[in-house]
Amino acid sequence: MFFMIHHLVSSEFFSSSTPEDQEQWERIVGGIKAPNGSIPYQVSLRLWGVWHFCGASLVTPRVILTAAHCVDRLAPRYFKAVVGTNQLLAGGTAYDIRKIVVHEDYDDYVIKNDIAILFTEQEMDFGRKVDAVELNDEPVEKGEELLLTGWGTTSYPGRVPNDLMQLELRSITYEECKEAHKSINPVFETQICALTKAGEGACHGDSGGPLVREGRQIGIVSWGIPCARGKPDVYTKVEAYMRWIEKTLYDDDQDHVRYIEDHRRHRRTNRH
């Protein structure tokens, strides 16, 4: 949910009355449909395995990264993680959640440390449509091209689209973002902000989803002004939480950390 400033969560499932209505809804707010199979790390978190309420990303075959506000005080038995599909109404595989770890210093008042890790009961089957995203551990400069994906509503309040949407954004500086939101909510150095123009951006249902640069996840959708009003959206900065992520994974099972290290090494070898 964007907070009223709005956490970008939505629990309203896609429904349509006319083709015209559906066409209006099918945007991440200014985005386009993501090609099938192009975002294999995208996860849909669904209450009872049915109603999409947040996005997330695959980190290992048993680990999912999302926003703390999506799962704080939510028991694992109430939702499932669905992977391997771009459509909310068709396809994909649902996995039960074994454990939720919300950042110990998560503050839902000022929306700080908005990060959580989910561990699945079973190992997910990786393949062409299901795969992990590499986590970014390097600084992001102003003006870099970023990719946002999700099933966020197309307007405020609005409804969730059936198809996964994508939108190209540009990073802005911490100082610019802090200034833009100075009368609304604090912005912290553990966050990163992105913007295109009024009429484009994240909205309800995108929360917890990935913001990516060149195939590496740099951010987790956290909060913004609903929706796409020309103010920068705010994301939890993955780079700032790498130690916390690695410790959380290590405390559960050392194999999680080994997978991330091997995955990173493999990707970088393939890039050269």
pLDDT of amino acid 205: 67
Residue 44 · residue 89 · CB < 8 Å? no
CA dihedral angle for residue 109, residue 111, residue 115, residue 119, rounded to 10 degrees: 40
Assess if residue 263 is contained within a domain: no
pLDDT class for 230, splitting at 50, 70, 90? confident
Q: Helix axis angle, 254-271 relative to 242-252, nearest 10°? A: 130
Does 108 have pLDDT greater than 80? yes
Does 19 have pLDDT greater than 80? no
pLDDT of amino acid 240: 98
Q: What number is the average pLDDT over the span 253-270? A: 83
pLDDT of amino acid 13: 35
pLDDT class for 209, splitting at 50, 70, 90? very high
Range of the domain at 164: 135-239
Q: What number is the average pLDDT over the span 222-246? A: 89
Assess if residue 145 is contained within a domain: yes
- Checking 172-181 for CB contacts under 8 A at 24+ apart, the result is 172/142, 172/143, 172/232, 173/142, 176/142, 176/232, 177/232, 177/234, 180/231, 180/232, 181/231, 181/232, 181/234
Assess if residue 210 is contained within a domain: yes
Residue 237 · residue 95 · CB < 8 Å? no
Active site residues: 69, 114, 207
Written as one letter, the residue type at 176 is E
What's the count of helices (H) and strands (E) in the chain, helices before strands? 5, 16
Tens-place pLDDT, residues 132-170: 999 999 999 999 999 999 998 755 566 778 999 999 999
Q: What percent of the chain lies above the pLDDT cut of 70?
A: 81
Residue 67 · residue 222 · CB < 8 Å? yes
pLDDT class for 265, splitting at 50, 70, 90? confident
**Which of residues 29 and 74 earns the better pLDDT score?**
74
- Please state the domain count of the chain: 1
How is the chain split among helix, strand and coil, in percent rounded to 5?
A: 20, 30, 50
Residue 84 · residue 76 · CB < 8 Å? no
**Domain with 190 in it: what CATH number?**
2.40.10.10
Assess if residue 245 is contained within a domain: no
Assess if residue 25 is contained within a domain: no
Extract the tokens encoding 68: 């703390």
| Three-state DSSP state, 192 | strand
Residue 210 · residue 57 · CB < 8 Å? yes
Tens-place pLDDT, residues 31-66: 789 999 999 999 999 999 999 999 999 999 999 999
pLDDT of amino acid 271: 53
User: Under 8 Å CB-to-CB from 38, ≥6 apart: which residues?
Assistant: 166
Assess if residue 99 is contained within a domain: no
Q: What number is the average pLDDT over the span 255-270? A: 81
Q: What percent of the chain lies above the pLDDT cut of 90?
A: 72
Assess if residue 62 is contained within a domain: no
pLDDT of amino acid 94: 98
Assess if residue 88 is contained within a domain: no
